[in-house]
Amino acid sequence: MKNTLEASNMRFRQTVNLLARHVVEKDLTRERLQKEIDTRFCDASRDQKEDLLKHILHKSYISAWITNRPSGTSPLTIEKPQSLENFRRLEKNLKGCFALKLARHICKSAEKAGASSTAGWTEDFSETCLKSFSLKSFPGEAADRELLLIAIKQSLAIIRKTSLFTENGNAFGAAGRECSDFSLYIDLLSAFWEKVSWEEIFPSNPEAAREIQRNRHILIDLVAHAEDVFKLDDIANQFFDMTGFGRINDLFLISFLDFYFFTWLSHFGIVKYLSGDDHEAVRLEKTPQGQELLRILQGNPLQAS
């Protein structure tokens, strides 16, 4: 009986992984993937099939990072907003954000490993960063090692576009250690928003990454004008309606925004995900500093204290 159950579970995992690879390699549409699920899991309930669809999409993004990450792209060149220079009073609230902690960890790992230039930032270096992650220091973020490895690789791409590197790609050395939390956070946020190509850090759908980056100010405006607690689906559907980027309730594109764009807003401490049941709509909440960070990304000056 036990062997039969284990064999059944193995077949299930193999089928899910196969469909996830097909999404990436064969560019399956949502309708095609839904038909595959209906055929292969005909005894599952509607809710179970919906959960399977979300799970397979999630696996496909992980697969895309393993098999389809572009080797290089051209960053945007946009002048740094002057409002960032008035940002210091937010430093206390930003110390614990994941993007900053992750960058600090990478800086320390690079110094220890002697990977003082981008040439040393190989796949092995990413694995080194992952292995040295402390469950105590990163209790929540370190739970899913696959997602953590993706975040490390994304962070490496963002760090390459910060002022910690010279024009010829030489690394920061001690600069990363000596840089204040505030300065490093601003450098990272500016690199993410203005300099790194989102095709490089959101590689599972390059066309969607380009379109979202081109219209990112619309997305930020929608988030800025939303209630403090909002549904991700609502923002996504408003974005689709305003830009024609996707169809209303397009699960593929909503999942893409969730897995990449909103996850990084969360990493930067701008929003946080709220817990809920699996079948509930994904909800997010702006952090105490989130509204002011959104104003900066909108290109506005900070409000007076």
The predicted-structure confidence for 131-165, as pLDDT tens digits, reads as follows 877 666 666 666 678 888 899 999 989 988 887 76
Domain boundaries, the chain: 2-67, 82-201, 206-297
Residue 16 CA to residue 37 CA, distance in Å, equals: 9
* CATH (one of 3.40.50.10130, 1.10.10.10, 2.170.8.10, 1.20.1250.20) for 206-297: 1.10.10.10
Q: Between these two residues, 256 and 34, which has the higher pLDDT value?
A: 256
Distances from the Cα of 136 to the Cα of 117, 126, 132, 133, 151, angstroms: 29, 20, 11, 9, 18
For 82-114, write each residue's pLDDT tens digit: 445 445 566 777 888 999 999 888 888 877 766
What was the pLDDT predicted at 34? 81
Handedness of CA 158, 163, 168, 171 (dihedral sign): negative
- Give the residues across from 273 on adjacent strands: 284
Please state whether the predicted TM-score (pTM) of the whole model is above 0.75.
Answer: no
206 residue type, one letter? P
Residues 29-42 as b/e (b if ≥16 CB within 10 A, e otherwise) read: ebeebbebbeeebe
Lowest mean pLDDT among 55-69, 102-116, 174-188: 55-69
The 10s digit of each residue's pLDDT in 73-82 is: 333 333 344 4
pLDDT of residue 72: 40
Residue 269's pLDDT is: 94
